[in-house]
Structure 1
């Protein structure tokens, strides 16, 4: 029977690969050259053509030699069938050859036993927390999920990446400025802070100058001399101020002599001693006997009052009651969590240790001691916008000196100019955000550049950022705002 498909006839012979490539083959990731593919397909094509030529001749018969060779290779049908039904491992296949080298020839658990074991929830293997990697976990109360979430969302305690970036951009606390760069610093007084002038005076009443070490030492030395004089005066016992008995409301020695109604020192001491010792003769016995808690008392002897007479327990009764009460374990006082200071503690889900550790290790939200110290020591960066040409309305800029403004720190400065509108209230410029005065408008009164020094122009910058003309009647003449500046805070 002839072939139904045409055999491909590949013409490009290609290049035969080396023996190593034939043995090892192409490695993963290697792209063989086209010449090797051409050799392979050319060889296949030639092989198929040879088969066609040898097997499918014009009479479609094998040669006798080829038939004999094929018959020799055929197995006896009965032997083959006997071999195929042999279940005694005729090839002596072992477990290693079938990939079961680790399987032991022992009885396996039944499906029921296995499923029963799998479904067991009572820790049949006695697994410990160490074995599951939780050796450091304690069975103690955790923060609640609500508390953790509340803390995690606290934007007061935590910082953002933007805040961190802003704070890190601040100038360090040890940065410096030239003194000439520091503007608008007032003179110091008792009511405001500012620059202070030193003075050596020790008698001045000025409130705008500060004392030097020299003047402080002079005042200190004077105070020490006064202190020494005062101490000396305090030690004088000879009545340096000549105080009289009359001045302190007492009898003089002459006045008190011979007065019988006055006690002398010995008599006074005797009476005080009698009172303290209780030996006053009249205090021996009560004239009228009394009872104390049902026990008679006349003052001549001590009395003993039984506990029952005053509604009290005996020592034995007290000790027994205290001991019995102390051993009660049933919350006899009905103490609540509010009374023990735990009113806010709820028996609810806590944040997991993983959640807490994740939050605790968040270096974006939290700051370090180093960052805190660095940020606390920082100062605002000295901002300078540079000169900005004003985008105006109704102003013709001077060619050589156009109207410009600049922000340095908290100051806004103008320079240059041109011809301005004349109508009062006209808005000729709107300042950008952050360049407007705060609290009240800023004014500038300038002279028009002409021959008359009385010609004036007044401009105003509002807190709303608008720059307006207050008065200007000389539109044809240029006006310059050099020297106009104001504070923005």
Structure 2
């Protein structure tokens, strides 16, 4: 990739980053405006509710239309009552203010004549001998036997006995359905009914039911969902069915390769967008479209692009240096392979050369197989030696050229008995050095 392509890619990345930032800021601004409008509406509603409640509390015109039956006064007439002072004066009036007659008090047959003196009357009362000869029939006690009666003290004791001596039951007094539990006092019950702090109105319920109840953060403002090790981000996002903030660990499933914090924007069960900010300053995006998830895309920052470009430019493992170019573009100097053990030159002299990270062997040699037919300096051989395939002249077959790490060369052929029929071997091979080999 040329520098202009790299710079163009950087510019395109920056445009995408700025567009993403603009989308994020607009979303954040929209959410802030929506929250402010919601708070204003809530404040107006609460102010109106408080005003209505106060006016209702101050209304003494019986707004609930309470009746005298509801307060237990169904038998009370709506007539003017005497004051307590007038009533007390009337009670203390001994002058017969109502002009009561003896007939009205059941004494119509009593003559207005002098009565016996109290002393005489008392003496008469003390006469235990029944001076008048009164019978029990005359006093209405004909059915009473002459048995011992209970003492007054015993009767009074029985009367004052509150331990239910007659074993009266709840059913007998018409309370068979009443449970034996403590009842609230009327004043406590009234206080509870009038306590607007523990009761809600229909308008309260309607407003709360219609309000947005989904949280995107915890109550303390931290991220709502923790996608930790082994947790699948995609399953969490679909399962929440709402917009939420999140933290992802690099050990999570379908998470960015670095720890991040971000927000998932929920549209439906098949559409959504996730944006995450890495602890290392990276920016990530993942999309759900028509139920299909994209991979996490890393939107590189300008600073990150510059650092990556610098690291790429400094990587000599994938770039050539000027020295490499000068050496490779120069003339390759070949030297003759030192032939041994009766090996002879064929149609071309066997030669070798070191070309950068390559060992080049060229030429045509006539030799018996399975013997050392020549050698090159060991410094030209890759560590551990090498084996290459060479062509057989005259037959079209192949053999193996063994290059030992000390520089010796040998032909390995499967049927040495036929070597007399061969016209030689074309040694045209290139052997590469591995990283770390020395020439």
Q: Provide TM-score, normalisation by structure 1.
A: 0.27
Quick one: higher RCO (CA 8 Å, sep 6+), 1 or 2? 1
TM-score normalised by structure 2 residue count: 0.30
